[in-house]
Amino acid sequence: MALGPRLDLRQSQSLVMTPQLQQAIKLLAASNLEIETFIAEAMEANPLLDTGAPAADEPERGELVATLPEDAPADQLMALGGGEGDAPLDLASVDRDWDTGDGDARGARDAEWGAAATGGSGGDFDEMPDWEQLRAADVTLAEHLEGQIGTLTSDPRTAFVARHIIGLLDDAGYLATPVDEIATDLGVALYEAETALNLVQSLDPSGVGARNLAECIAIQAREADRYDPCMAALIANLELVARGEVERLKRLCRVDDEDFADMLRELRSYNPRPGLAFASSATSTVVPDILLADNGKGGWDIALNEDTLPKLIVNRGYFVELNAGAADKQSQGWLKEKLADAHWLIRALDQRQKTILKTAAEIVRQQDGFFRRGVAELRPLTLREVAEKIEMHESTVSRVTSNKYLACARGTFELKYFFTSGVASADGEGASSAAIKARIKALIDAETAKNILSDQQLAEMLQKEGFDLARRTVAKYREAIGLGSSAERRRAKKLAGAS
């Protein structure tokens, strides 16, 4: 057969998304603040778009609120207002796993989970760097700390509480919220909140997570392996350092002039405000997209935060004025195109809000125990489960839950946090991996030196409690929480008993 260029005709079928559908899918993944920016740009490009109350001849869109009773079926979740009267834009029917460039960028946007603390971060030291210059860094303190959590703990429960604590740190890196209050808000034990705080205090930069100046300096001294009794006494009396009472400090620390001078130089080398080396968290404030409240009747009221969503309408009066002055077909065609674009954008935004509300309502239904009793009741949940319940594609749910935050009585959480891994259980509901690890730890803590449980025995005990776990899975969870094998634990308990 001869080789050479030739022309062939071939017939094929392919699914092509229009630019409007691509834009609609990207709108799903955008946060409310990003939508606000998008609307501002759209209004500049389209003179027919306006914000404010609808005109007298237009039906006003109903308030986007869903009331979720305790056992309401999925098809009765929503009581939503209408749109523009046109057919709704069905994103679920066109959304698939296309690469539209909008990945699930969790990053560290869940940095601001609570109010910024105001006290306890004081102290002035000489020979300090220019903190205002360092604040110009692009990375925030919360983003920097978030990136370290996953490498230091494999326990999702501890990581969950630690991320909440990171969100409560002020710009200087201090924590003003009491640990017992954090434990109460999240519904966890006090020791679990303290464990998470210790994890945060072990992160870089050294000194973050401290509750006062003395603790901040002590953390850095321990990191530098300089926290001996003399340094501890000096740090405990920082008010004397500020007043310059050198003789009294030397007596308290029990050191001579030379040692005291070395200790003072060491003290001044520590950073009293470690968080200021990063960009201010004010530049990445999280505004919740969804508001959740107990309706007092055993259910929940779910609403979109419309404070960040300006009402978008078509300026009918301006359209009539422009249409009257459009003499040629080109002007009339341009005006009709802008009118069609305005109607499409309003329908797309309305459909986006309904989809977000529908998805959030199903997440609240699935994680009802968390909202009522705390993180201990967080159950395993996947995107596919939610997608099947609300009859949408899994990729649609993934985009809806990206960069969206839900505010409730327990705090502000990204929707992605409610999707956790788990294992099967006898009741068919499943159990989260965090709950399984906690149960394994409880069983091992109850061991005696004469009765050390093997991984197989642990698996059998958990199976009797309704958890379908293999021995290898038990061993994996046991190692993840830092517990040794049965032989290692037996030797450790014997040594402890001998001592």
**208 by DSSP, 3-state: which?**
coil
Q: Which of 92-96, 268-272, 303-307 has the lowest mean pLDDT?
A: 92-96
For the sheet containing 78-79, what is the strand order? Answer: 78-79, 65-68, 300-304, 290-294, 405-408, 411-414
pLDDT the model gives residue 68:
58
User: Of 74-78, 283-287, 466-470, where does the model show the most confidence?
Assistant: 466-470
Q: What are phi and psi of 51, to 5 degrees?
A: -110, 150
Kindly report, residue by residue over 282-335, the tens digit of the pLDDT. Answer: 545 678 888 999 888 888 899 888 776 777 888 888 888 888 887 788 888 888
Say whether pLDDT at 84 is over 60: no
For residue 66, what are the β-bridge partners?
A: 78, 302
Say whether pLDDT at 137 is over 50: no
Say whether pLDDT at 408 is over 80: yes
**Distances 465 to 373, 426, 427, 440 between C-alpha atoms, Å:** 21, 8, 10, 12
User: Of 131-140, 359-368, 468-477, where does the model show the most confidence?
Assistant: 359-368
What is the Cα–Cα distance from 379 to 364, expressed in whole angstroms?
Answer: 11
pLDDT the model gives residue 211:
92
Q: What is the pTM of this model?
A: 0.50
What's the full length of the chain, in residues? 499
Kindly report, residue by residue over 428-458, the tens digit of the pLDDT. Answer: 555 666 667 878 888 888 888 888 999 898 9
User: Which residue, chain included where needed, has tokens 């999925």?
Assistant: 74
Domain boundaries, the chain: 28-51+62-80+288-417, 131-277, 422-498
Q: Which run of H or E residues covers position 287? A: none
Say whether pLDDT at 151 is over 60: yes
- Tell me which architecture the domain covering 422-498 has in CATH: Orthogonal Bundle (1.10)
pLDDT the model gives residue 90:
42
- Mean pLDDT value across residues 84-105: 37
Per-residue pLDDT band for 61 (boundaries 50, 70, 90) equals: very low
What is the Cα–Cα distance from 340 to 18, expressed in whole angstroms?
Answer: 15
Q: What are phi and psi of 107, to 5 degrees?
A: 50, -125
One-character DSSP codes across 105-150: --TTTT---SPPP-SS-----SS---HHHHTT-SSBHHHHHHHHHH
Q: DSSP letter at 294?
A: E
